[in-house]
Chain A
């Protein structure tokens, strides 16, 4: 075995690039801070990083993005006196004001006093002093890292600190303070859990007189809210008890409302204050009557744990921020009406650590990025459109919420794979066993049904392996011939699955059956990979790379580095010009084997954590534990591109990556991203991609949103924006003829004529006119305005002229009036056919003409 090149690390780059920019594609939180409703209740404002997003409540569509802050916002609020103004304060104390209707342009910006550098703002509220024009900002600010925070008040214009409430200590948390203002009275309620749980009430009258009371509590508090009108405060605590505090200024008393078993995460009063809502880790929204502790209603099984609640004016809607990065909109009768779902997060345990691993792949059918969504779900995320396409429920179980003294585990999807054309999806769901709870492992094969446009479960296999499944892959095959899937388990075995005709006499169709089991010297499996034509399968057994023929399970060769001890964690076949090469990786380094010469091509030292290969081109991307990043081609140890510390590794780590093929042709100026773009995922569940620093990219934040009219159209969709306010068309409406009379026309007149005796009959010449007229439908009406139709059609022509010639301004008003008339007439034409009336008029005139003709010849004929 000849090692051609062995180096200490990746060498210099072949091509010169500047530093690439890391661009966040998705995953920004919209549930960090509570959402607020606009004053008319039609829009919902949501904090998203350093910008505020506005969503339409009825459609759930994103309407506007308000930018302007340099750092993450610490909340959003409506201006207390001008509710059409939107206010946000960033964590470093920037104060910003927007007009709600201004499509995101900033009105005013200022800096709040001394906050910069020293303090971090956690949350804020606005209060309006009676004798002042501008509101004051009451914010919870803390030195970062400390448990305690203090309440500071600033003037919003000058940024000077004010002293309205004295010194109040609260927790360093964005739910620890609640502020409410009624006429001339400001109520503050805040809690502090250290050193002892203290609840502070503070009431200020006209900014002059201040009263403050404190009570102690045994249980740590988690949230607080103020009653909209009365002096009443509710708090939630860690044992799940909601307390309603009254008689705040003398000797506070409370009543307990206990339903929750987990800490209450959020409480909020209804608009009038007769109800309140609470939510927590049980995923249940509870509505309480303030007067009784029993009359409660529930909305169970929300998608994830509840983080924040807010109520719209007039109680029309309640927004429930859930921990899966979604907002559920619930109406007043506790029915979900809409939901706003951003890039979906898998649910997090209470200690804030992220449950991983995360699998990522692309769906060959839709070119969507597929990754773990909610617990037990897969999410299909369109990278191009940057929106969530759909969530696929793979596990099909109820989400089990945590319990107070027990840690409940949910079964989740751990591995999945698509076949070459995306018609089959294989998923592995796993729940680790514990003491006296056996583990759960299930392999499912889903077929995409083109008619119903759904994934349909085809085969479900219980416990395909002992222990977990390390890797799963479909064999690449053209036209889906000899479909095959391979799973590698922690039981040191790999299993091949093939599609076979069902053996049951009652059911026709294909099912997946286990075909072969393979193992190698009882060594644990690290990873597996198929060659691009599907003829070979490379499996890492411990430090050894083995190559198999997939169909027959025949071992072709086994390759081991003489110095290798570390178990291989990654195996990837080369693509395109490198099909004969296999890249293997471990914590110690990356090695490339040549299968034609059965030799080691090159080895470099690299602390590998993620290895991703592009399915279309030959490049391979590798990430290290320190977030170092390198792109290389398997045939050359010199990297195409490398960058150390791609994202800061203090708080997050790159956990997975995937190359997503471009949906449409794109002129990427990065050569290795010409066919598909690399996306990677960090441990904070954020999705990134790499772009050239010079290219103007649209990040998630500053993506130019189509300008939509705010009020005129109800559905604020891009399509609705394209629709003109008024439209004209040359298409002639096919009008349906309708009878205006019931029965035979002129029947009554004829009856009258025949009823009277013959001798009393007037001369025929007198009667005939009216008799003939009565036979014509709608004749009576026409007589009132016989020329109206003619005139109207003239007007139509005129109107066309006006439209063409915009100079005739003086007639604009008239035109619009007529247009209105026109539309009215169009509407009426459904009921009354103008066609028929015009015909009637013609006939009438014709008859009149006949009448005037000399009829002497008739008498001649008679004689």
Chain B
């Protein structure tokens, strides 16, 4: 007797693995804790040392939170106007903060003492960072300049005036203390070398740049702005490596995650996309309740903090405690001692292994078609795995049992099927099957009193009609579009042969007027 072969439910599911290692990984985070602050969350920065405090910059203060307790650890509020871009030093002891007033303030976190104030910018400073040698600060200001400051002497060392608009994005190289990267609203991304006092590299992002980031090697940098993230190769002189256009609104922040193996980008479209560093492919998406302005990830992905425009901060933490493995169900070992070794003469009867089988397969096995269909019409399945429901419809059709399975239903269960049809009729994967299902359903309930007496059913049937008409229109317009496109394609392929011979083109009047003299340097 061959075993029962399971119904293939993957036929109609989306191609590619549904459950990837990444989805499992990012699902492991706890439900978010939401904090409400005043004003938009400008910047979130995690301390690089344990216990990974994070500094949250919003309106006129910087708050340092404990990620575990979600309580404020220190509160820095010595600002007359809005503070911007509070960033930790690599030892986690100092914090530099820009601000609306154009000053850069240096705090010692433990005692909340203000150590230095760097004055000189004529516009608000949105981002400032400690360089990797810990003794300098790079600042990026709305006065279109990028400056480097010396901490001990509290003096400006250099200033770069390459940009022509507000400089809103900036970062320092993780490998060299002399390399600084800035992105501005003039859509340029510039790289400076403090030793050369000139711009080392300038690339055009194509949209106002909100954020720039180096990859840990320092050779590749990313710029975010508009709906795109672009990846550039600094060592190859600013070659564009990739364009990631996964967002449909402005990308506001970038961050590295998962031990520098993933890139995260937050956007005003309320999504955080997670990319694979090697292939730049989206591996997961996190959804948030409002447009995202800032994003921080602690080392080891312990905590993800996301700041939104309405002052909400969402903090999620990786759940560490692993669930204990399920205790194996022991049947009855009363008569057999543990570690029993059967002697040669004992005949050993192996316990039959029953493979786990889904509910609908169990019903299919018993030819209980209505129950099989009911088992895949639950809310969970229809919402999360509609492909399963469709696969069961398909199997029922193949077994010629769909009529029987659909027949004899009450208004309520009929409504569930109708809703499913209305919802998924337009899905290209399911259309072929669902049209047939709808057809059979109408055949079965043609003369049923339910159609007229049950209000929900009759309304749903009307909606279904409407939906079918919509689909029809859509397919028609798509067919039109396809016709247009194929005409264009046909045109494009036929033009090749009719390109006029260059010899037959004569210079125009303008061209004749413009004379070009070629000068060769012959030495």
For the complex, is B432 an interface residue (Cβ under 8 Å from A)?
yes
Contact (A398, B5) CB under 8 Å given A408-B399, A437-B397: yes
For the complex, is A846 an interface residue (Cβ under 8 Å from B)?
no
Binds B, one of A294-302, A578-586, A763-771, A831-839: A294-302
Hey, what's the 0/1 contact readout for A414-438 against B, CB within 8 Å counting as 1? Answer: 0000000000000000010000111
B-contacting residues, A279-320, CB 8 Å: 299-303
User: Which among A303, A400, A438 is the interface contact of B432 at CB below 8 angstroms?
Assistant: A438
Nearest CB in chain B: distance from A213 CB, A: 39
Contact (A400, B399) CB under 8 Å given A505-B279, A505-B283: yes
A436 close to B11 (CB less than 8 A): no
Contact (A436, B440) CB under 8 Å given A299-B1, A303-B2, A396-B8: yes
Could you say which of A300, A335, A505 has the most chain B C-beta atoms within 10 Å of its C-beta? A505
Chain A residues, Cβ within 8 Å of B1: 299-302, 335-336
A-contacting residues, B398-443, CB 8 Å: 398-400, 432-433, 436, 439-440
For the complex, is B20 an interface residue (Cβ under 8 Å from A)?
yes
Nearest-CB residue, chain A, relative to B21: A506
For the complex, is A365 an interface residue (Cβ under 8 Å from B)?
no
CA distance A396 to B11 in the complex (A): 13
Hey, what's the 0/1 contact readout for B1-34 against A, CB within 8 Å counting as 1? Answer: 1111100100100001100110000000000000
Nearest CB in chain B: distance from A396 CB, A: 6
Could you say which of B5, B397, B433 has the most chain A C-beta atoms within 10 Å of its C-beta? B5
User: Which among A336, A408, A462 is the interface contact of B11 at CB below 8 angstroms?
Assistant: A462
Nearest CB in chain A: distance from B149 CB, A: 42
Nearest-CB residue, chain B, relative to A282: B367
B398 close to A436 (CB less than 8 A): no
For the complex, is B186 an interface residue (Cβ under 8 Å from A)?
no
Chain A residues, Cβ within 8 Å of B439: 436
B-contacting residues, A500-516, CB 8 Å: 504-507
Nearest CB in chain A: distance from B514 CB, A: 43
For the complex, is B473 an interface residue (Cβ under 8 Å from A)?
no
B400 close to A403 (CB less than 8 A): yes
For the complex, is A167 an interface residue (Cβ under 8 Å from B)?
no
User: Which among B4, B20, B281, B436 is the interface contact of A438 at CB below 8 angstroms?
Assistant: B436
CA distance A431 to B398 in the complex (A): 9
Chain B residues, Cβ within 8 Å of A504: 16-17
Nearest CB in chain A: distance from B188 CB, A: 32
B-contacting residues, A61-120, CB 8 Å: none
Hey, what's the 0/1 contact readout for A121-163 against B, CB within 8 Å counting as 1? Answer: 0000000000000000000000000000000000000000000
Nearest CB in chain A: distance from B434 CB, A: 11
B5 close to A397 (CB less than 8 A): yes
B4 close to A400 (CB less than 8 A): no
Contact (A437, B436) CB under 8 Å given A301-B4, A336-B1: yes
Chain A residues, Cβ within 8 Å of B3: 301
Nearest CB in chain B: distance from A548 CB, A: 18
Nearest-CB residue, chain B, relative to A410: B398
A-contacting residues, B266-298, CB 8 Å: 276, 278-279, 281, 283
For the complex, is A852 an interface residue (Cβ under 8 Å from B)?
no
Chain A residues, Cβ within 8 Å of B432: 438
Chain B residues, Cβ within 8 Å of A411: 398
Chain B residues, Cβ within 8 Å of A335: 1
A438 close to B433 (CB less than 8 A): yes
Chain B residues, Cβ within 8 Å of A505: 276, 278-279, 281, 283
Number of residues in A with C-beta < 8 Å to the partner?
A: 26
CA distance A400 to B397 in the complex (A): 12
A398 close to B436 (CB less than 8 A): no
CA distance A463 to B2 in the complex (A): 28
CA distance A9 to B323 in the complex (A): 80
Nearest CB in chain B: distance from A450 CB, A: 26
Nearest-CB residue, chain A, relative to B364: A398
Nearest-CB residue, chain B, relative to A402: B400
For the complex, is A406 an interface residue (Cβ under 8 Å from B)?
yes
Nearest-CB residue, chain A, relative to B361: A398
Nearest-CB residue, chain A, relative to B443: A436
A507 close to B4 (CB less than 8 A): no
Contact (A436, B279) CB under 8 Å given A398-B4, A462-B11: no
Chain B residues, Cβ within 8 Å of A400: 398-399
A406 close to B400 (CB less than 8 A): yes
CA distance A504 to B15 in the complex (A): 11
Could you say which of B2, B8, B276, B433 has the most chain A C-beta atoms within 10 Å of its C-beta? B2
CA distance A505 to B262 in the complex (A): 12
Nearest CB in chain B: distance from A488 CB, A: 22
CA distance A439 to B432 in the complex (A): 10
CA distance A302 to B16 in the complex (A): 35
B436 close to A506 (CB less than 8 A): no
Nearest-CB residue, chain A, relative to B17: A506
CA distance A613 to B517 in the complex (A): 71
Hey, what's the 0/1 contact readout for A170-203 against B, CB within 8 Å counting as 1? Answer: 0000000000000000000000000000000000
A436 close to B2 (CB less than 8 A): no
B2 close to A301 (CB less than 8 A): yes
Nearest-CB residue, chain A, relative to B400: A406
A-contacting residues, B204-228, CB 8 Å: none
B398 close to A437 (CB less than 8 A): yes
A-contacting residues, B238-285, CB 8 Å: 276, 278-279, 281, 283
CA distance A436 to B400 in the complex (A): 10
CA distance A300 to B5 in the complex (A): 13
CA distance A60 to B191 in the complex (A): 80
Chain B residues, Cβ within 8 Å of A398: 4-5
Nearest CB in chain A: distance from B280 CB, A: 10
Nearest-CB residue, chain B, relative to A284: B1
CA distance A301 to B3 in the complex (A): 8
Could you say which of B1, B3, B5, B276 has the most chain A C-beta atoms within 10 Å of its C-beta? B1
CA distance A431 to B17 in the complex (A): 27
CA distance A300 to B367 in the complex (A): 12
Chain A residues, Cβ within 8 Å of B279: 505
Chain B residues, Cβ within 8 Å of A438: 397, 432-433, 436
Chain B residues, Cβ within 8 Å of A303: 2
Chain A residues, Cβ within 8 Å of B20: 506
Chain A residues, Cβ within 8 Å of B278: 505
Nearest CB in chain A: distance from B272 CB, A: 19
Hey, what's the 0/1 contact readout for A644-687 against B, CB within 8 Å counting as 1? Answer: 00000000000000000000000000000000000000000000
CA distance A274 to B462 in the complex (A): 61
Nearest CB in chain B: distance from A219 CB, A: 23
Nearest-CB residue, chain B, relative to A334: B1
Nearest-CB residue, chain B, relative to A442: B11
Contact (A408, B433) CB under 8 Å given A396-B5, A504-B17: no
B400 close to A507 (CB less than 8 A): no
Hey, what's the 0/1 contact readout for B66-103 against A, CB within 8 Å counting as 1? Answer: 00000000000000000000000000000000000000
Chain B residues, Cβ within 8 Å of A397: 5, 8
Nearest-CB residue, chain A, relative to B283: A505
B-contacting residues, A381-397, CB 8 Å: 396-397
Chain B residues, Cβ within 8 Å of A408: 398-400
CA distance A506 to B24 in the complex (A): 13
Give 8 closest A-B pairs by Cβ, nearest first: A406-B400, A436-B436, A437-B397, A398-B5, A438-B432, A505-B279, A505-B276, A301-B1
8 further A-B pairs in the complex, CB-CB below 8 A; given A301-B1, A437-B400, A440-B398: A299-B1, A301-B3, A303-B2, A408-B400, A438-B432, A438-B436, A505-B279, A507-B17
Q: List 26 A-B contacts (CB under 8 A).
A: A299-B1, A301-B1, A301-B2, A301-B3, A302-B1, A303-B2, A335-B1, A396-B5, A397-B5, A398-B5, A403-B400, A409-B398, A436-B397, A436-B436, A437-B397, A437-B400, A437-B436, A438-B432, A438-B433, A440-B398, A462-B11, A505-B276, A505-B278, A505-B279, A505-B281, A506-B20
Binding site for B on A (CB under 8 A): 299-303, 335-336, 396-398, 400, 403, 406, 408-409, 411, 431, 436-438, 440, 462, 504-507
Binding site for A on B (CB under 8 A): 1-5, 8, 11, 16-17, 20-21, 276, 278-279, 281, 283, 397-400, 432-433, 436, 439-440
